[in-house]
Amino acid sequence: GAGVSQSPSNKVTEKGKDVELRCDPISGHTALYWYRQRLGQGLEFLIYFQGNSAPDKSGLPSDRFSAERTGESVSTLTIQRTQQEDSAVYLCASSLNHGVTQYFGPGTRLLVL
């Protein structure tokens, strides 16, 4: 079946603007994760959703970052007042349940000028 999809695939924005990134998980996957990969660095966990439980936001780097998920479907990651250091690839992953294999989307490449 279809894998995890993300949109847009690329986004260029000006410093100070807000951006919204979208993730469509694999159908039926209850868990959804957002990660960030900055150039030359490893992947950093941002946020985790599991069903209707309160999300784990422990990885969000600042209050400019927020994410929502509608039930067990689409998730959006919003970055307000973008800064140049927000430039990165933002990856979304989903899994059937907590603790099993995570399947990643292709990522959104964000460039803040």
**Is residue 20 a contact point for another protein (CB under 8 A)?**
no
Single residue of 2, 28, 41, 85 touching another protein by CB under 8 A: 41
Piece of 19-27, 66-74, 75-83, 98-106 that binds another protein (CB under 8 A): 98-106
The least distance separating another protein from the CB of residue 61, rounded to whole angstroms, comes to: 14
Question: Is the preceding omega at residue 106 within 30 degrees of 0, hence cis?
Answer: no
Return the number of the residue (19 or 32) whose C-beta is nearest another protein.
Answer: 32
Amino acid letter at 66? S
CA distance 78 to 4: 18
Single residue of 11, 26, 43, 64 touching another protein by CB under 8 A: 43
Triad 66, 67, 71: Cα angle to 5° = 155
Size of the site for another protein (CB under 8 A): 26
| The residue to which tokens 């924005």 are assigned | 13
